[in-house]
Chain A
Amino acid sequence: MLTLPEPTAREREHALVVAAQRGDTESFAALVRLHQRRAYAVARAIVLTHEDAEDAVQEGFLHAFRALDRFLPDQAFGAWLNRIVANAALDITRRKKVRDADALADTIASPFRDPAESAELRRRLTGALSTLNERQRAVIVLHDVEGYKHAEIGRLLGIPEGTARSDLHHARARLRQALSGVRSEL
């Protein structure tokens, strides 16, 4: 008896995209399940708060749903979606420009942090993060936290790879300067 090989993750995703394009909402929900964590991480790298990241993810999926008929199923759905989510997150940051260091320190802190972490490092780092512009902050978080490469960050944020590289360099220098002279021994 001839057995068909198991479809790969890419093939399954392709099938879901095609079905969603035909109007199958369940297939789109499956795509949401597949990609929402990564989308959240991308949004969280750009906006300042967990709530804004959730808003950006919802906006991003909504835009993606509306633009689904323009998506070519042979492309990588995740990359396309994350670009949309990144744009939604950038829109939110433009609307809510928080420049105040204290406000940033209050909003950026995650409720899931390790309580034993150095408060001094966090205080200094959040202060330094508030001095970066939104693009530099997004670049360093996408690179250091999410592990994106320069070219991928460039595509996500709609900037040249060289700009992403330069932003990362400046952001890192600024944060390093903020931490200089501080060393915690836990």
Chain B
Amino acid sequence: MRIQRNTPPEWEDKEVTRVLRDLYASPPPNASYWDTLESRIMARIATAGEAPEWWGVFHGWIRVGLAAAALAAVLTGAALLRERERQERLAYETVIESASVIPVAGPTIARGEGRSRDATLRSLISY
């Protein structure tokens, strides 16, 4: 084997492909090899069909889980609704109670001032 420097890229591209093809060569087109591989694939499928996957254990619990989740959702909703109603009622009562002590706004006349005015009027009329 002789080694040369500065090889043209075209040659190298072809050589890359050629060596890659050699490195990644598929098994020879031997019928027995592929028959064996097919048997192994089908055996694997058969074995996998017999032995359930680990998550298959949960399969039977799916309906129970869904029912429990639905029940939990209903209960949570009801609790939330009740709490909301309680808070609304509380807020309403607070408003009502505080409204009874609010002073009525409006013009008021002092008691003493009205009496003196009446006395003045009576005095004038009597003359």
Is B96 engaged at the interface, CB distance under 8 Å to the other chain? no
Is B66 engaged at the interface, CB distance under 8 Å to the other chain? no
B15 partner residues in chain A, CB cutoff 8 A: 121, 179
Nearest-Cβ distance from residue A182 to partner chain B, whole angstroms: 6
Q: Are A113 and B16 in contact (CB under 8 A)?
A: no
A108 to B19, CA, bound (A): 12
Known A33-B34, A179-B7, A185-B2; contact A117-B45, beta-carbon cutoff 8 A: no
Interface of A is mostly: helix
Q: Are B24 and A145 in contact (CB under 8 A)?
A: yes
A145 partner residues in chain B, CB cutoff 8 A: 17, 20-21, 24
Q: Interface code A113-124, partner B: CB below 8 Å = 1, 0 otherwise? A: 110011011100
Is B106 engaged at the interface, CB distance under 8 Å to the other chain? no
Nearest-Cβ distance from residue B74 to partner chain A, whole angstroms: 33
Nearest-Cβ distance from residue A113 to partner chain B, whole angstroms: 5
User: Size band of the B side of the interface?
Assistant: 20 to 34
Is A101 engaged at the interface, CB distance under 8 Å to the other chain? no
A44 to B17, CA, bound (A): 15
Q: Are B38 and A32 in contact (CB under 8 A)?
A: yes
- List A residues 1-55 near B (Cβ within 8 Å): 25, 28-29, 32-33, 36-37, 40-41, 44-45, 50, 54
A44 to B27, CA, bound (A): 10
B38 partner residues in chain A, CB cutoff 8 A: 29, 32-33, 36
**Which of A36, A66, A122, A172 touches B22 (beta carbons < 8 Å)?**
A122
A84 partner residues in chain B, CB cutoff 8 A: none
A121 partner residues in chain B, CB cutoff 8 A: 15, 19
> Closest chain B residue to A125 by CB distance?
B19
Q: Interface code A133-149, partner B: CB below 8 Å = 1, 0 otherwise? A: 00000001100110000
A172 partner residues in chain B, CB cutoff 8 A: 13, 16
Report how many A-B pairs have Cβ atoms within 8 Å: 119
Q: Which of A120, A126, A129, A144 has the most CB of B within 10 A?
A: A144
Q: Are B16 and A181 in contact (CB under 8 A)?
A: no
Q: Interface code A169-186, partner B: CB below 8 Å = 1, 0 otherwise? A: 000100110011111111
Nearest-Cβ distance from residue B2 to partner chain A, whole angstroms: 5
Q: Are A120 and B3 in contact (CB under 8 A)?
A: yes
Q: Are A126 and B12 in contact (CB under 8 A)?
A: no
Q: Interface code A74-109, partner B: CB below 8 Å = 1, 0 otherwise? A: 000000000000000000000000000000000011
Is B6 engaged at the interface, CB distance under 8 Å to the other chain? yes
B42 partner residues in chain A, CB cutoff 8 A: 25, 28-29, 32
Known A181-B5, A185-B1; contact A125-B41, beta-carbon cutoff 8 A: no
19 A-B contacts (beta carbon < 8 Å): A25-B46, A29-B42, A32-B38, A32-B41, A36-B37, A36-B38, A57-B41, A58-B41, A62-B44, A114-B22, A118-B19, A120-B1, A120-B3, A125-B19, A175-B20, A180-B12, A181-B6, A183-B7, A184-B2
